[in-house]
Amino acid sequence: MFKKISHITINNTQQLLVLIDQALVSGVNFVLALLLARFLGVENFGIFAFCWMLVLFVSSIQLAFITAPLFTIFPKHENRENYLKSVHSIQLGFSILTFSICFVVVKCVFLYNPGLEIKGVLYSLPLVAALFVLQDFYRRVNFTLKNPFKSLIADSIAYGLQPIVVLGLNYLNILSINHTLLAISALFGGAILFNFPKVQFTTELLMIKNTITENWSFSKYLVGTALLQWVSGNFFIIVAGGLLGPVAIGAIRIAQNIVGVLHVLFLALENIIPIKGAELLKAQGSEKTVAYFKSMFLIGGVITAIILTTIALTRTQIITMFYGDEYLQYANVLLGFTGLYVLVFIGTMLGFVIRTFEMNQLFFWSYIVTTVFSLLAAKLIITQMGIYGVLVGLIFTQVINISFYVIKLNSKLNTLWK
């Protein structure tokens, strides 16, 4: 009995630390976006958000090829130590490749349109992208090894100091997009130095090759999905930036930032549910695993509904309090995002089920459909509806994805849903 109580206490403590860590990261992202929107102005903030889309693109590939296999394969792997060493080596190579490719991409954009060039960003944007994915990898490793306290310490460096640095740059009157990226890079670097000695890596090429093959076998559909998902999810925003200007991107990111408080919940669930689901599937089978997903869907759904309802009812007060009266014109955009995030929650939970049962091809095929829809419809919808066209497009992509997931999962697991 004592061992059982001790085990439950340890598990609850670890889950609480994961939640605190995600609250720290999401809270800092909220505050950082708030400060940059106020200090840089909505147009420059829109440009910064546009730059950050490249970081998120690289991160989505890393999550698909490195993190998702880590969460699912590691708990079931026969030689966990060697697998983790190999994945670490792969991640180091991925970060180097990230800097190189991002540098070429940014350089090509500046050559194609010199009017878009921002001093220093040619180096600072690839740097922050490379360090972001490496720092995120160490966070996920700590969660996988059930050492969330280490992540909390590292994230206190990587994220906790960001608002202070931005306030300092603004006080010194040197705040800019480039200096912000450099400051964030320096903080990520500090967190990486904290984590790096705690995770071993290997130089054995055969071991690395085998792990790449293993990860690719698991994630080949996820990588393709990541590319398609980025296009289908961001193409409307890119088109809006081209047709409506950076102000539109800034307004959209402000709304996303407010509902982004839910990322505390979503990311915490992502760091808990797939690992627990994989363990249950291995130890107790499909029926118990599906029952676990049902219970987590109910708990997460109630919390999501409460948060989104609160935001919807108090949206004008929230915007006035955090951004000022001049942003009240975007209150209905925020209302639309509360509806969108109901669908985001449902899609996220269904995604956990798909990943646990290794049906990752569903992501790939569903995002082919949404990508085609985005490419064909984005310009028409935004031209006709302006900034609200972005909302309509994003909602339609979520509906398409969820419908696809439900149909396919029901045909595969219908006896377990009952």
How far is the C-alpha of 36 from the C-alpha of 249, rounded, in Å? 14
The residues near 240 (Cβ < 8 Å, ≥ 6 apart) are: 248, 249, 252, 382, 387, 389, 390
Amino acid at 371: T
Residue 33 near residue 257 (C-beta atoms within 8 A) = yes
Give me the count of residues in the chain: 418
Per-residue pLDDT at 196: 86
**What dihedral do alpha carbons 390, 393, 395, 398 form, nearest 10°?**
-130
Residue spans of the domains in the chain: they are 10-417
- Specify the pTM: 0.77
Pick the closest to residue 84 from 171, 151, 142, 167 (CA basis). 142
- Residue by residue, pLDDT tens for the chain (418 residues) are 434 434 444 556 777 887 788 778 878 888 998 899 888 887 888 889 888 989 999 999 998 899 888 888 887 777 878 888 889 999 999 999 999 999 999 999 888 878 778 889 999 999 999 999 999 999 988 888 888 788 889 999 999 999 999 999 999 999 999 999 999 999 999 999 998 877 888 888 888 888 898 889 888 877 877 888 788 778 888 888 778 877 788 888 888 888 988 877 887 787 778 878 877 877 777 778 888 888 888 988 999 999 999 999 999 998 888 887 777 888 899 999 999 999 999 999 998 888 877 777 788 888 888 889 999 999 999 999 988 999 999 999 999 989 988 888 877 665 544 5
Per-residue pLDDT at 11: 55
Element (H, E) at 317: helix 315-322
Per-residue pLDDT at 412: 65
Cβ neighbours of 288 (radius 10 Å): 13
Per-residue pLDDT at 29: 86
